[in-house]
Amino acid sequence: MQIVNEREGSMFKNFIVKLFAITGLLFSFSAHAGKSGGTLSFLVQPEPPTLASYVSTSGPIGLVMPKVYEGLFDYDNDGKMVPILAESYEMSTDGKTVKFNLRKGVKWHDGKPFTSADVKFTIMNVLKKVHPRGPNSFREVTDIETPDAHTAIFKLKKPAPYMMRSFSAYESPIVPKHLLEGKDVKSAPLANNPVGTGPFKFVEWKKGQYIRLDKNPDYWQEGLPYLDRIVGRFIPDASTRTAAMEKGEVLYAAYNAIPNIDAVRLKKRDDIAVTTDGYSMINPMALIEFNTKEGPFVDPAIRRAISTAIDRRFMIDTIFFGYGKPATSALSSNFKATNLHASMPNYPEKGDKAAANAILDKAGYKKDSNGVRLKGVFDLIPYGEDWRRGGEYLKQVLADIGIQVELRYEDVPTWLKRIYHRYDFQMNLNYFYQLPDPVLGVHRHYGTDQIRKGTHFVNSSRYSNPKLDALLDSGAGEPNAAKRTAAYKEIQQILANDMPVVNLFELEFLVVYNTKLKGVYGSAMGAYGSFREGYLDD
């Protein structure tokens, strides 16, 4: 059993060895004896726009749905694969055939049996077609054979080692074929009445208040889950969220649901802890997306000037209280482990307004009598106060180089439709997950084939460059490590010049939690994990 053969292994050496070395998949689950019973209330901020995690990877959806849907595998904090719906896998020597041995005795929440037909339908008819990242994660999968109910054999055009990091419940939720087949996947009733195989069953979504999940009494792993119920609460006001954590009304908050300014204070308490663990598979990057087809920011020179003016260190230290690392290219510096990251021009750590002004002067954008060169509208991701403060800072910086912007902050559904359905925006403050390999998290932001209207968190800039497309394609499957490094260096050089997206800083999200909550910290997916081993130690 192996992940990659020797020929392909070289291109992922060091990083793969560290993250995904597996000597065997049939290891035991956590051996602790958790206390059964109790309700876990945790923060879901903001309220999800839908529960269709197979269509949208919006962060709030990820907080809820991996408790309901499962993937073939999970990943622990050391990056090792944990068997979930698949008990093991076997890969052919050439890397083009991967056989998954599926778990027996698993039932959907409506009592129907889980089979290999569900896996094939999910990958081929759902994730490869409508999921934001699925078309890249499973780009090489041409067919899935199902010789029996508990065997799924993936056939690939060429080896795709990165695919083996795509099987978590958040990234690739397996969905019930019998409830989606023959329906419009994007609008089927399953979206907001989910039926999974996970440790918790969907019970109720009371809009504006909470989502309730109850223990699945027929869960395939005997004795789990421990908790009787999970309640995801929506609390729009940041100070009220913090107060709820202080009072013990909620026990867990991730993805800056508790603003960093409050987290720094709360971690001094004996009953509350703060950690940056639980995001090792995600590589989040704060960024600005630009509309490259229409509006005031179609000229790459303007976008380069904006990137040059921004004091990334100030944003990290002042707005996010020191949690983060300045971006230096289109790729996270974490990709240095695979020799793919290279620092690029137009990414000064502390900003250079004089240089930014010079870029705009040279490009012919003159200031009027009020010192304004350009005007525009700046949309902000509606995920909390930190992002509002970030927008206010960026507005000030842009004004200093003669760009006057109006900030726009809307609810999540309206924002998603504006950016990804209608392209009715000029610039947008956002963050993307770059994930463990650029193929999984970065390509979707820049490839022409990722201009997929109505699909969230893909190429909303509508940036299209045939040369870059060719490099993305070659970089994805290049078995030679040196050649892959060269391809990604050129990719970063092109993007540093064209700047359809300006990366701001590598996010370090915080988890704030009550210390009586145990057993939910073992997954590399963190808050996007199942919580099946979570329990309350009163």
For 420-472, the pLDDT digits (tens) are 999 999 999 999 999 999 999 999 999 999 999 999 999 999 999 999 999 99
Q: Is 222 exposed, middle or buried (0-12, 13-18, 19+ CB in 10 A)?
A: exposed
User: What are 477's two structure tokens?
Assistant: 């499957």
Mean pLDDT of all residues in the chain?
Answer: 93
pLDDT of the residue at 3: 34
pTM: 0.89
pLDDT of the residue at 538: 80
Rounded CA separation 364/397 (Å): 20
Query: 305-317, pLDDT tens digit by residue?
Result: 999 999 999 999 9
What's the mean pLDDT in 362-368? 98
- Up-side HSE of residue 459: CA atoms within 13 Å toward CB? 22
pLDDT exceeds cutoff 90 at 278:
no
Chain Cα centroid distance, residue 165: 13
pLDDT exceeds cutoff 60 at 476:
yes
Q: Sign of dihedral through CA atoms 174, 177, 181, 187?
A: negative
Cβ atoms within 10 Å of 27's Cβ, excluding its own: 12
> Which DSSP string do the residues of 445-474 spell out, in sequence order?
GT-GGG--TT-SSS-TT----HHHHHHHHH
pLDDT of the residue at 486: 97
Rounded CA separation 59/72 (Å): 21
**Alpha-carbon distance values, 418 to 153, 187, 414 (Å):** 39, 18, 6
pLDDT exceeds cutoff 60 at 1:
no
- Up-side HSE of residue 73: CA atoms within 13 Å toward CB? 23
> Residue 408: what residue type?
R
pLDDT of the residue at 33: 64
Confidence band for 300, pLDDT divided at 50, 70 and 90: very high
pLDDT exceeds cutoff 70 at 132:
yes
Residues 6+ apart with CB under 8 A from 237: none
